[in-house]
Amino acid sequence: MKRKILYGLLLSVAVLTGCSKGDVPQGATDGQTIWWKVDSVEGLRGTKSLINSYDALVEACKPENGGSISVWADYTIENETTRNVFEGTSIIYQDKVGGNPHSYWNYAGNDIYWSLGGQYKFRAYYPTDADAKEADDTDGIQLGDGCNATVFQMNYNTMMTQKDLLVAYNTIDTRSWNLSHPVPLNFRHALSALQFRFQLINAPGNEYLDSDYLTSVWMENTVAGSEEPFTSIGGMVYGDVGNAEKLGWTENKWREPGDRLYEWKNTGVLMENRQVGNTVQTTQAVAYTKTGTSKGDLFTDNDGFLLVIPQQSEGNVKLCFTTSHGGNTVYSITIPKITGTDREGPSDTGEYFIPGYRYIYTISITKTDIRLLLTIKPWNKLESSYSYNFG
């Protein structure tokens, strides 16, 4: 199967090493504990799986909620690197006798200690429910066959999990760092987010005074694999020899035309225009609303935001939906190639869904037409907005 680069650069296989656990480098094992602190988390208003702030990550990683941060480390001394000095070490948020003096970020298991004289590379991610298997249609998050703290690989199936994926990286030179200080972790979002809002069109002189209910939504590819379809399963490569913060995605699998992606069914979410005095009041129906959902409950945990693999938009996927008035009639509209972001950020001609951005599609319905408006916002700059009309 041909693998295409969705976002970023695919690294040479020669760069990657296996995930076998390396030998612990020489150094005192009864010395200073490696402490941690989370300095920042990119923000996005949300609930449950969506991590919107430092406080949300704290809440998710409390023992009673089952979440944790996973940390990997490589160690270099005298130009020799030991991979996976520790791998998948779990950090949770709880008070601990004799624990972290800087915060409640403590090890879920035994403490790990500094080895002196060399440099550490740390790579962390949330959530930690991953294993070393190939991503397929029955798995959610898996570590790749070759991964370490220098170059980290992960497979992610957005059809099987909708957990917000956060990643962080840092290096510490033990010859200059005060080892009593905690290692700072600055997390950023690794996925993109889409939201679909439906409304009956409301324009001066063309008010559609009516009500209806959104009853189902899904996406479908319009082309086969060799023609660049939208992918729901991707491989993340985090790190590069020349750029440790490089974040790239490649396509692992796709769904064929006619297969339903992210299918959601509901008893009905109201969309309405009604006259209130001299104005028309509009109520939008947001897809992937939890209340009333009978299919696709997995996709309803993020305030109507659907987490997707960052990738180039090819204009080869359509949004399908049904309404109460329409009954079994399936309406559809093609999601345009233009996304408003290129690889680097906002761009009028950009054709990429990129990490850390949310894309809000507003579908306006008249009695004879369907129109689409796209608004994009960085997750950590909620006041920013870039709008594009496709009508």
Mean pLDDT (the chain) is: 82
Model confidence over 61-91: pLDDT tens digits?
A: 999 988 899 999 999 999 999 999 988 899 9
Of 70, 241, 56, 205, the C-alpha closest to 143 is 70
What is the structure's pLDDT at 204?
58
Name which residue leads in pLDDT, 19 or 118: 118
Label residue 7 by pLDDT band (50, 70, 90): low
Percent of the chain with pLDDT over 90: 52
Task: Give the lowest-confidence range in 12-21, 232-241, 334-343.
Answer: 12-21
Label residue 35 by pLDDT band (50, 70, 90): very high
What is the DSSP code string of 217-256?
EEEEESS-GGG----SEEEEEE--SS-TT-EEEEEEE-PP
What is the structure's pLDDT at 24?
42
Q: Evaluate whether 306 touches 244 at the Cβ level (below 8 Å).
A: no
Q: What is the mean pLDDT of residues 216-228?
A: 88
Q: What is the mean pLDDT of residues 209-232?
A: 89
What is the structure's pLDDT at 207?
59
Rounded to whole angstroms, how far apart are CA atoms 342 and 213? 35
Residue pointed to by tokens 């919107």 = 52
Model confidence over 273-288: pLDDT tens digits?
A: 888 888 888 899 999 9
